[in-house]
C-alpha cells in the first residue's frame, strides 16, 4: 500500500508491516520515517539488523538464506536495503518471492531516492507493494514550510506565534534538518508553551560567541567600530543573514516610530517587547538619530532582504554592514543608483 509521510505514524500504530519501503527526494524525512520503523522493529523483538547497499552487481545470494525461517539459528532480524540503484533481475525475483511469503523472523526495509513511474508500475514492484507499506516522501516547498514548522513546533508542546514560525523559516531557509535541530534547541532553552520570535532569535544566536542583541546594543550606544567587529564575528560564526536582518530591521522600525511619536514613547516601547531597562537607550537613540540615517537604513534593509532571497545581485553582508553604519549615524551617500534622493517608503 502506498501512503504519504504524514499518514505513516497512524499506520505504524496499527501494525508492523513485514515489508517497509521509503522513497523520495527529502533525505531528512526519509531518515525520520526509517528511524521510526527501526524503533518499532526493535520493540517487537527484531533486535539484529543487517544492512546492505544495493548497487549494480550486488550478489543477491547473500539474502536468499533470509527467506527461510531463522528461529533456530538466531535472533529476529531487520534487513535494511539501501537502493543506490534499482535491483537487477535476480534481485527483483528474490524480492517478489519475499513479498509473496514474508519470513516470520525477518522484517525488510527498503530505502530509495524517488522512484520513477516506470518502476512503480512494473509487475515485480506492484507485487512487492502488496505486502508492504510504501511511504512516498515529497519535498516540503517554501510555501508549505511554515505549516510544516508550525506542526513540528506544536508536536513538541509549543504554541508558536506566526512571527515565531516566520523567524524560524527565514533562519533555516528551507533546510528541514536545520529546522529540526533549531526546534530541538528551543526545547532545551525555552520554558513553557508560548513561543515568540524573540525566543527564536535568541535560540539561533545562542551558540555564537556574540549575539545579534549585542550587535544592536553597540549600535544604540553609537559604538560603530565594535558594532562592525561583532557583525564580522557573527558572519564568521555562521549566523544566518536573515537573523541579523530581523534584529536590525526591528530596531530601525522602532526608532522610526519613536521619532514620529516621541510623546507616546512609553506605549510604543511597551508594545514592542523590548525589556524595560533598555527603554532609555532607544529613547536616547531616537532623539539623536537623524531621519536621513533611518531612510538609508531602510534602503539597505530592503537591499539585504532582496539579496538574501536572490531577487537581486549583491552580497547581503555588504547591505547589513551599511545598515549598521546608517543606524550608527555614519554619513553615507543618500542617493540611489540613479542619483535620486532616497525616501522612506
Domains of the chain: residue spans and CATH: 2-60+69-137 (3.40.50.300), 145-205 (1.10.8.60), 212-327 (1.20.272.10)
The answer to whether the beta carbons of residues 19 and 43 sit under 8 Å apart is no
pLDDT in the model for residue 15: 92
Each of the 345 residues of the chain gets a pLDDT tens digit; together they read 999 988 999 999 999 999 999 999 888 899 999 999 999 999 999 988 888 999 888 888 877 766 554 444 567 899 999 998 899 999 999 998 888 888 888 899 999 999 989 999 999 999 999 889 999 998 888 788 899 999 999 999 999 999 999 888 877 767 788 888 889 889 888 888 999 988 888 877 655 567 788 899 999 998 999 899 899 988 988 888 998 998 899 999 999 999 998 888 888 988 887 878 788 999 999 999 999 999 999 999 999 999 998 887 789 999 999 999 999 998 875 444 444 434 433
Integer Cα distance of 270 and 236 in angstroms: 34
pLDDT in the model for residue 57: 86
pLDDT in the model for residue 179: 87
pLDDT in the model for residue 219: 94
pLDDT in the model for residue 73: 53
What's the whole-model pTM score? 0.59
Amino acid at each position: 500500500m502506498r501512503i504519504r509521510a504524514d499518514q505513516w505514524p497512524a499506520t505504524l500504530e496499527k501494525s508492523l508491516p513485514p515489508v517497509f519501503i521509503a522513497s523520495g527526494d527529502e533525505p531528512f524525512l526519509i531518515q525520520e520515517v526509517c528511524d521510526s520503523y527501526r524503533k518499532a522493529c526493535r520493540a517487537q523483538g527484531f533486535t539484529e539488523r543487517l544492512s546492505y547497499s544495493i548497487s549494480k552487481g550486488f550478489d543477491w545470494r547473500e539474502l536468499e538464506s533470509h527467506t527461510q525461517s531463522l528461529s533456530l539459528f538466531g535472533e529476529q532480524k531487520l534487513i535494511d536495503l539501501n537502493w543506490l540503484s534499482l535491483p537487477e533481475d535476480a534481485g527483483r525475483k528474490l524480492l517478489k518471492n519475499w513479498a509473496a511469503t514474508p519470513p516470520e523472523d525477518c522484517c525488510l526495509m527498503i530505502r530509495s531516492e524517488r522512484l520513477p513511474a516506470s518502476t512503480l508500475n512494473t509487475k515485480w514492484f506492484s507485487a512487492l507493494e502488496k505486502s508492504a507499506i510504501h511511504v512516498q516522501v515529497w519535498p516540503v516547498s517554501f510555501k508549505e514550510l511554515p505549516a510544516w514548522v508550525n506542526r513540528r513546533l506544536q508536536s513538541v508542546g509549543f504554541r508558536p506565534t506566526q512571527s515565531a514560525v516566520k523567524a524560524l523559516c527565514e533562519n533555516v531557509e528551507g533546510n528541514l534538518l536545520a529546522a529540526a535541530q533549531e526546534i530541538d534547541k528551543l526545547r532545551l532553552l525555552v520554558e513553557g508553551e508560548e513561543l515568540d520570535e524573540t525566543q527564536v532569535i535568541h535560540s539561533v544566536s545562542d551558540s555564537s560567541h556574540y549575539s545579534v542583541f549585542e550587535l544592536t546594543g553597540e549600535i544604540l550606544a553609537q559604538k560603530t567600530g565594535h558594532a562592525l567587529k561583532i557583525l564580522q564575528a557573527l558572519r564568521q560564526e555562521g549566523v544566518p543573514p536573515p537573523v541579523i536582518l530581523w534584529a536590525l530591521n526591528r530596531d530601525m522600525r522602532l526608532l522610526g516610530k519613536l521619532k514620529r511619536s516621541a510623546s507616546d514613547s512609553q506605549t510604543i516601547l511597551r508594545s514592542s517587547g523590548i525589556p524595560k531597562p533598555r527603554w532609555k537607550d532607544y529613547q536616547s537613540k531616537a532623539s539623536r538619530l537623524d531621519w536621513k540615517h533611518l531612510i538609508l537604513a531602510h534602503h539597505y534593509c530592503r537591499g539585504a532582504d532582496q539579496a538574501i532571497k536572490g531577487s537581486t545581485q549583491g552580497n547581503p553582508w555588504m547591505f547589513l554592514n551599511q545598515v549598521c553604519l546608517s543606524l550608527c549615524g555614519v554619513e553615507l551617500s543618500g542617493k540611489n543608483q540613479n542619483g535620486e534622493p532616497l525616501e522612506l517608503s
